[in-house]
């Protein structure tokens, strides 16, 4: 009689481990910015809810599959880092072959579903984003250059393009502005993390910017990227794609991002970097949320 609860517990644990492979926190950002790209695209409100659901699920599955491939490839370095050693692969809870198969199947399903249910431009962009993240960023750049997150960060900027293409079947300047917004947001976001996790990256031999160039140089570069974000974030309003509400909100949010970067620059420790990292996540959610609110005002 006692074997049944144990079997149920093991099943739940396996499901939890495979869910962890999807990198759910990263996936939530991908899904949200992808949905925002759909929401602000012309024709979104005329789109059938089933197609919206198919596009969002495909995007989530594709992002999760790329995250699983990343964990499969980095299982050796994840085992060396305190931040990641609790993941399913370093702990031996999932076999590497299982993780790789899981990633390949989910990638194929996500791209095929997007293509068959929505359109092939969105599917092609989803496939390109997955390829870029797994092969360009994870396998080629991350262990070779401190510019890994700058170049490789483009992978995380695809969701607004995918979302827009899912609705319209084409592309336009606004989703490319949103792509650029995520692209320039990525370095200060990840470098804030790497500042207080630099010992982990050094132990794993990953050449993140603070490890290679030092904390001071990294902090100056973070400030430069947040300054670029300031005019870029208000560009949709300046170019007529959004209204005053978005423009003012984006300026305030971005100006505070610059302020957090200045605080990091002045801080000899890592406390401000932790705060900036937390704000950077809020910033990305907020900037896309106010854009969506502006559209329906």
Quote the CATH superfamily of domain 18-170.
UbiA prenyltransferase (1.10.357.140)
Sign of CA dihedral 279, 221, 135, 80: negative
**172-297: what fold?**
1.20.120
Percent pLDDT > 90 in the chain is 86
Higher pLDDT, residue 171 or 16: 171
In this prediction, residues 215-231 reach a mean pLDDT of: 97
- Backbone dihedral region for residue 259 (phi beyond 0: left; psi -120 to 50: alpha; all else: beta): alpha
Per-residue pLDDT at 6 exceeds 60: no
Each residue of 282-292: pLDDT tens digit? 999 999 999 99
- Find where tokens 């917004």 sit: 181
Where along the chain do its domains lie? 18-170, 172-297
Q: Predicted confidence band at 1 (pLDDT cuts at 50, 70, 90)?
A: very low
């Amino acid at each position: 009689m006692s074997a049944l609860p144990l079997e149920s517990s093991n099943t739940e644990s396996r499901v939890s481990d495979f869910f962890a492979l999807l990198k759910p926190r990263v996936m939530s950002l991908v899904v949200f910015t992808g949905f925002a790209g759909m929401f602000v695209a012309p024709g979104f409100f005329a789109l059938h809810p089933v197609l919206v659901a198919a596009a969002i699920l495909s995007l989530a599955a594709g992002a999760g599959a790329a995250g699983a491939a990343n964990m499969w490839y980095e299982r050796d370095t994840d085992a060396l880092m305190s931040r990641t050693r609790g993941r399913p692969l370093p702990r031996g809870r999932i076999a590497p072959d299982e993780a790789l198969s899981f990633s390949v199947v989910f990638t194929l399903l996500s791209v095929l579903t997007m293509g068959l249910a929505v359109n092939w431009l969105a599917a092609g962009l989803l496939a390109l984003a997955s390829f870029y993240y797994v092969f360009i960023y994870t396998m080629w750049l991350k262990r070779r250059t401190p510019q890994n997150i700058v170049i490789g960060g483009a992978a995380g900027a695809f969701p607004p393009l995918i979302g827009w293409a899912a609705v319209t079947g084409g592309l336009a300047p606004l989703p490319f502005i949103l792509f650029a917004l995520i692209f320039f947001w990525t370095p200060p976001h990840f470098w804030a993390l790497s500042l207080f996790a630099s010992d982990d990256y050094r132990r794993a031999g990953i050449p993140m910017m603070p490890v290679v160039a030092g904390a001071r140089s990294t902090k100056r570069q973070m400030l430069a990227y947040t300054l670029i974000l300031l005019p870029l974030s208000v560009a949709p309003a300046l170019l007529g794609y959004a209204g005053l509400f978005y423009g003012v909100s984006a300026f305030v949010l971005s100006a505070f991002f610059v302020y957090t970067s200045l605080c990091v620059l002045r801080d000899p420790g890592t406390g401000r970097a932790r705060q900036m990292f937390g704000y950077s996540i809020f910033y990305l959610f907020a900037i896309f949320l106010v854009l969506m609110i502006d559209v329906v005002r």
